[in-house]
Amino acid sequence: MADEFEMDTEAVEENEVEESQTKNKKVYIPGVSRPLKEGEEWEYDPSVYRIFHTFETNLPCLSFDVISDSLGENRSDFPLTCYLASGSQTTRPKDNELAVIRLSNIYGTEKEELDDDESDEEEDEEEQQKKEPIMHAAIIPHFGGINRLKCETLGASSVCAVWNDQGKVQIWNLSNCLSEVDNLSQDEKAKTNLVKMPKEKPLFSFVGHGTEGFSLGWSPLKLGTLASGDRRSRIFIWHMGEGGQWVVDQMPLNKHEASVEDVQWSATEEALLVSCSVDRSIRLWDTRARPADACVHTVANAHDKDVNVLSWNKFDPLLVTGSDDAVLKVWSLKTIQYNEPVALFKHHNGPITSVEWNPNESTTLMASGEDDQTTIWDLAMEAEPGQEDLADVPPQLLFVHMGQKEVKEVHWHKQIPGLAFTTALNGFNLFRTINV
């Protein structure tokens, strides 16, 4: 009996040690927990992604956009297909390019169970090969590095506005490129097919800025209306006239005191434009007024440092801004006159480089920073009891995506709910998480 009692005591002690170790374990939070040690690397966990793929372009891409297509809205059935436009930035201006990319045969992360039979394993390998994504691209030679690009559909044409580092803003018609990549995609075995389009020329070039810039915004309400902002603090408004002719207002909006970093039109009020700047301010503009009177409100010192990016919520009168101070702020148009945000999130450890509201979820947004993190936030989330080990993490932080170096830009796909894209120095990521 003594031996039996001694054995039971040891078992109890072992259980207590295991319970103690379990209690001491904490969730690893990038930017909060310790940095990775030498030799440690991030590992992709397929259990937290519905979709995850990586791909690269020939040259580094700092800006891209999703091209709207005619394949349908709210689609989710595999395999998926999507289209992107991307712009390169290399040291020699003549080596740059504008790329139109078709990504097809995109499947989710679900894995089928393998049988022990070898022939079944071979069949399974063949099935996996059939599920590999296919990338095709049409390449337009472009003189100058591309700082920013934004895509839009104008009638039957897909176009792209491009800000380059030569001080030009250009409009390109992407329709021929889209036709070419669709023709290439008929050959399923050619998974890296490229076609060069040397004869493509811009529809229109504007050199009135006289310097380079970074901000572009298409109006979602007034077809063919564009805003472009430059390093000299000016914002020009564009209009598409009859016959595809472009007219740019001679007098710019010129109230900022430093470089205009981002602009975006309201999704509900046709004349309302918002901008942010290195001068740390956010400005609202009524473009119906003459330029001298168009600024209807200024949030001075909206952040402690340069305000880099902003995004306008499609569903609610909310703005989100990101700054060199590594902070995300959410502003309501109902209370912005008091110059106070309705929410403030501090998680990133480096300047915010991109931010965008989810076009299908009113409370969800995505952001990226120079700390190599892409974060997804849900404003509707609240802290739950028993989450004391996450006290340093905002309860609205829904997901942290890692593995890329210097993430420059993030976008959601408007027609495929939850599908996200990011570009960084080491290429593109395409993913959908299990909680979006």
pLDDT digits (tens, 9 = 90+) for 368-402: 999 999 999 999 998 666 555 566 788 999 999 99
Q: Are 112 and 124 in contact (CB under 8 A)?
A: yes
Q: What is the pLDDT of residues 242-297, one digit of tens each?
A: 888 999 999 999 999 999 999 999 999 999 999 999 999 999 999 999 999 999 99
Average pLDDT over residues 330-358: 97
Predicted TM-score (pTM) of the model is 0.88
Nearest to 61 by CA among 401, 323, 404, 357: 404
Burial grade of 290 (CB within 10 A; 0-12, 13-18, 19 or more)? exposed
Q: What is the pLDDT of residues 27-53, one digit of tens each?
A: 566 666 666 677 667 677 889 999 999
User: What is the predicted pLDDT for the residue at 126?
Assistant: 73
CA distance 297 to 295: 6
**Residue 193 CB neighbours (<10 A):** 19
Q: What is the pLDDT of residues 55-108, one digit of tens each?
A: 999 899 999 999 999 999 999 999 999 999 999 999 999 999 999 999 999 999
CA distance 84 to 210: 29
pLDDT at 113 over 50: no
Burial grade of 297 (CB within 10 A; 0-12, 13-18, 19 or more)? middle
Radius of gyration of the chain (CA): 25
User: What is the predicted pLDDT for the residue at 40?
Assistant: 67
User: What is the predicted pLDDT for the residue at 128?
Assistant: 74
User: What is the predicted pLDDT for the residue at 1?
Assistant: 33
User: What is the predicted pLDDT for the residue at 139?
Assistant: 97
User: What is the predicted pLDDT for the residue at 163?
Assistant: 98
Q: How far apart are the two ends of the chain, measured CA to CA in Å?
A: 57
Which alpha helices (H) appear in 98-157, and where do they start and end?
118-130
Residues 6+ apart with CB under 8 A from 125: none
Better-scored residue on pLDDT, 152 or 24: 152
pLDDT at 6 over 70: no
What angle is formed at CA 416 by the lines to CA 415 and CA 419, rounded to 5 degrees?
Answer: 130
How many C-alpha atoms does 96 have within 13 Å on its Cβ side? 23
Average pLDDT over residues 143-152: 97
Assess if residue 195 is contained within a domain: yes
Burial grade of 166 (CB within 10 A; 0-12, 13-18, 19 or more)? middle
Q: What is the pLDDT of residues 165-222, one digit of tens each?
A: 999 999 999 999 999 999 987 655 555 589 999 999 999 999 999 999 999 999 999 9
pLDDT at 366 over 60: yes
User: What is the predicted pLDDT for the residue at 13?
Assistant: 44
Provide the domain limits for residue 187.
58-207
- Residues written for the chain: 436
Give the residue carrying structure tokens 């020699």: 92
Assess if residue 408 is contained within a domain: no
* Confidence tier at 124 by pLDDT (50, 70, 90): confident
Assess if residue 187 is contained within a domain: yes
User: What is the predicted pLDDT for the residue at 190?
Assistant: 54
Give the residue carrying structure tokens 């504008």: 98
Average pLDDT over residues 225-235: 98
User: What is the predicted pLDDT for the residue at 112?
Assistant: 32
Beta strands in 143-265 (DSSP E): 146-154, 157-164, 169-173, 194-196, 204-206, 213-218, 226-230, 235-240, 246-248, 260-265
* Confidence tier at 313 by pLDDT (50, 70, 90): very high
Better-scored residue on pLDDT, 122 or 11: 122
Assess if residue 222 is contained within a domain: no
Percent of the chain with pLDDT over 70: 84
In our burial notation (b when 16+ CB lie closer than 10 A, e otherwise), range 396-426 reads bbbbbbbbbebbbbbbbbbbbbbbbbbbbee
Assess if residue 191 is contained within a domain: yes
- Rank 123-137, 292-306, 381-395 by mean pLDDT and report only the highest: 292-306
Count of domains for the chain: 1
Assess if residue 18 is contained within a domain: no
Assess if residue 417 is contained within a domain: no
Residues 6+ apart with CB under 8 A from 100: 67, 83, 84, 85, 137, 138, 140, 174, 177, 178, 180, 181
pLDDT at 417 over 70: yes
User: What is the predicted pLDDT for the residue at 129?
Assistant: 73
User: What is the predicted pLDDT for the residue at 22?
Assistant: 44
User: What is the predicted pLDDT for the residue at 14?
Assistant: 46
CA distance 109 to 148: 32
Assess if residue 64 is contained within a domain: yes
